[in-house]
Amino acid sequence: SRIKPLMREYVEAATNTSIDFSKSPKLTVSNLSLYLPDNSTILKDVSFSACRGQIIGVTGPVACGKSTLGRAFIGEIPYEGSIKVSEHELSELSDYERSRLISYMGHAPELMSDSIRENIQLGEQEDIMPYLQAVCLDEEVEQMPQGADTSAGSSGIRLSGGQQSRVALARTLYNARQILILDDPFSAVDRTTEKEIFKNLRMLAQDKIVILISHRLYLFPALEKVLFLDKGTGVFSTHEELMRENMIYAELYNSQMTGGEQNE
């Protein structure tokens, strides 16, 4: 009942668009503001930009608006200000155009009650093995009774939390558009696996823009830029500059690094 209304071809929309989806876009966010239904402010006047090959980190304290920002890119949250993909304002694009420009993985991704293969392919026929390898899941899948044809179960219940997250990430990479919005894709994996997946993500997305939303800062020194959200505002800078100039960011990073060393 939820999925079938969405399972349709955008034939007419595909013929009416003037966007060249093969061209690498530039993302420019200017004075972006997000509000709750009661008009209370989530984010106010946030600005940042990204271009081909860049991975931009988005982080901040709990409930700072990270996930809400991600949802604004797929049209779930109305916004004030501007989100431009090249010269196109995001709010003015059709659902078809937005779906061809942006891939999104939420922080609580849902899997279908189908095989691992079908959860990744979504009806396409390309080989899934490179994507299972990219998310460090290939060996685990090969050891399953039916391999990639093993059922994930209702909402992925037959898989562990880490496996569910990696299947969802493999699905997003398999169906990757020019802009990838990834909300906590590494939250259920250890640091070693996180580092390996990140290296593979860097290779697969070298011609794309990646917005990496995460509360885990282990990899943030390797990112091109960081958007730090706090108290409804955002600071867009490098990791090194934030470490020098933003005490809250520096405390979050240092506490995680110290805790990680103690756990290893």
**Nearest C-alpha neighbor of 197 from the set 221, 165, 153, 225:** 165
Give the pTM: 0.91
User: What pLDDT is attached to residue 17?
Assistant: 81
- Per-residue pLDDT of 56-79, as tens digits, reads 999 999 999 999 999 999 999 999
How far apart (Å, rounded) are the C-alpha atoms in residues 188 and 191? Answer: 10
How far apart (Å, rounded) are the C-alpha atoms in residues 7 and 54? Answer: 32
How far apart (Å, rounded) are the C-alpha atoms in residues 20 and 87? Answer: 12
Asked whether 183 and 105 are in contact (CB, 8 A), the reply is yes
Element (H, E) at 100: helix 95-101
**Start-to-end C-alpha separation, the chain:** 46
- Tokens 């933003």 belong to residue: 246
Mean pLDDT, the chain, whole residue set: 91
How far apart (Å, rounded) are the C-alpha atoms in residues 201 and 182? Answer: 11
- Per-residue pLDDT of 216-226, as tens digits, reads 999 999 999 99
